[in-house]
Amino acid sequence: MKKVILDLDTGIDDALALSYILGSPDAELIGITATYGNVVIEQGVTNNLNLLAMYHREDVPVYKGIAYPTGTTSFEPEWFVYHGKNGTGNISIPATATRTAEEKSAVDFIIDSVREYGNDLVVISTGSSTTIAAALEKAPEIIGKIHLVVMGGSLTQPGNCNPFQEANMGQDPIASNKMFATDADITMVGLDVTTQALMSRENTQALRDTGTTSGKFLADMTDYYIGVSENDEGAPQGVCNLHDPLAAAVALDPTLVKTFPINLKVETEGPSIGRTIGDPSRLLSPVKNTKVALEVDTKRFTERFMERLLSLVTS
Ligand code: BDR
Ligand code: CA
């Protein structure tokens, strides 16, 4: 049983990643840390609390992370069209939490949890890197103990914000670069593989057919995501990417992907700001701290994803 922290910018596929972890018998979700990205952080906190209420999992604490990119004092979600104004495709989460976020900061929660659980814990990042980088900076002794699985970046594919930049790495390139520059153990689940992990309208219909409130909510929310994804030039029809759920699945079962060891950096200025590329200063270093997922067993992943979501919404 793996202990899990989810660092989410909730977000449709973040909500699906949360659902995946809650439906996984081999995961114990010890907390959610909210970051900004698809939504402003307050909306992310609210979405996490309400999703947990919907699943009757108000035992899982929610912590608020850092609200803005490094060096700034505000944040406006640029790509909200993909996730709707409320982060869940303009579909209301059918439950309202009766609690608020914890007093402790997300940064301190991550630090304390890594200190306490070490190898038994995996931290899954599916939004901006700001909070994670701040935790590594505040308590450098956790760098050798933390296991991070990061949805973000791309080594072999164009970005999804522009040809260079993937959304999560582009939110705060300075923080993302700091994260990769540490010797922390990082598995990068980027567009190289997440663009192959798809959810179809048949899959959403299967969730709706359960007749449960949460099944219908997930189906309606994801149909919105499929609808907007279809509008992208050259996009496959009737499907959306399962970016964040794939990172969650890999965190529990690394055999779903084949990885390539490399030391990465993130460009922090210039026309390709936000791009994940090999760090030339560490290319020949015998120690490679990042494993980039380059191949995925999509059939095994999609089957497991649907099995776990169906079991969650019918439990
Ligand atoms: C990432 O960006 C966000 O919009 C998604 O939730 C995912 O984490 C994909 O680039
Ligand atoms: Ca996300």
DSSP secondary structure code for residue 280 in this structure? G
State mean pLDDT over 38-47. Answer: 97
| 305: nearest Cα among 212, 204, 190 | 204
Angle at 174 between CA 173 and CA 179, to 5 degrees: 95
Average pLDDT over residues 167-180: 97
Cα(206) to ligand 2 centroid in Å equals 23
Ligand nearest to the CA of 77: 1
Q: Residue 233 is encoded by which pair of tokens? A: 């030039």
- Give the predicted TM-score (pTM) of the model: 0.97
Nearest CA to ligand 1 atom 10: 167
Mean of pLDDT over the chain: 97
Nearest CA to ligand 1 atom 2: 167
Token duo for residue 72 = 């700034």
- Give me ligand 1 centre to Cα 286, in Å: 31
Pocket test for ligand 1, best of 10, 12, 13 (most atoms within 8 A of CB): 13
User: What would the pLDDT profile of 200-212 be if each residue is shown by its tens digit?
Assistant: 999 999 999 999 9
**Ligand 1 nearest-atom number relative to CA 241:** 9
How much of the chain, in percent, has pLDDT values that exceed 70? 100
**Domain 2-314 -> CATH class:** alpha beta
Please give the average per-residue pLDDT across 225-233, as a whole number.
Answer: 92
Ligand 1 atom having least distance to the Cα of 166: 10
Q: Letter for the amino acid at 173?
A: P
**Index of the ligand 1 atom closest to the CA of residue 79:** 4
Strand partners, 262: 290
The terminus-to-terminus CA distance of the chain in angstroms comes to 20
Nearest ligand 1 atom to the CA of 151 is 8
Ligand nearest to the CA of 169: 1
Counting Cα atoms < 13 Å in the Cβ hemisphere of 121 gives 20
Buried b or exposed e, range 42-76, using 16+ CB within 10 angstroms: ebbbbbbbbbbbbbeeeebbbbbbbbbbbeeeebe
Residues 105-134 have a mean pLDDT of: 98
pLDDT (tens digit per residue) in 51-91 = 999 999 999 999 999 999 999 999 988 767 899 999 999 99
Determine the distance separating the centroid of ligand 1 and the alpha carbon of 284, expressed in angstroms. Answer: 31
Residues having CB closer than 6 A to ligand 1 are 11, 13-14, 38, 79, 82, 126, 151, 160, 166-168, 243-244
Q: Kindly state the greatest CA–CA separation across the chain.
A: 55
CA of 194 to the centre of ligand 1 (A): 10
Which atom of ligand 1 has the smallest separation from the CA of 247?
A: 8
CB 13 within 8 A of CB 131: no
- E strand residue ranges, 198-297: 198-200, 239-241, 257-262, 264-266, 276-278, 290-296
Query: What per-residue confidence (pLDDT) applies to 234?
Result: 85
Going from the Cα of 11 to the center of ligand 2, the distance in angstroms, rounded, reads 6
Among the atoms of ligand 1, which is closest to the Cα of residue 9?
6
CA 107 / ligand 1 centre spacing (Å): 21
- Residue 179: both structure tokens together: 């994260």
Q: Give the pLDDT mean for 282-298.
A: 95
| Most ligand 1 atoms within 8 A of CB, residue of 78, 161, 189, 243 to mutate | 243
The residue behind tokens 């200063």 is 281
What are the structural domain ranges in the chain? 2-314
pLDDT computed for residue 81 by the predictor? 82
> Can you tell me which residue has the tokens 């760098």?
143
Q: For residue 152, report the distance from its CA to the centre of ligand 2, in Å.
A: 9
Quick one: which ligand is closest to 229's CA? 1
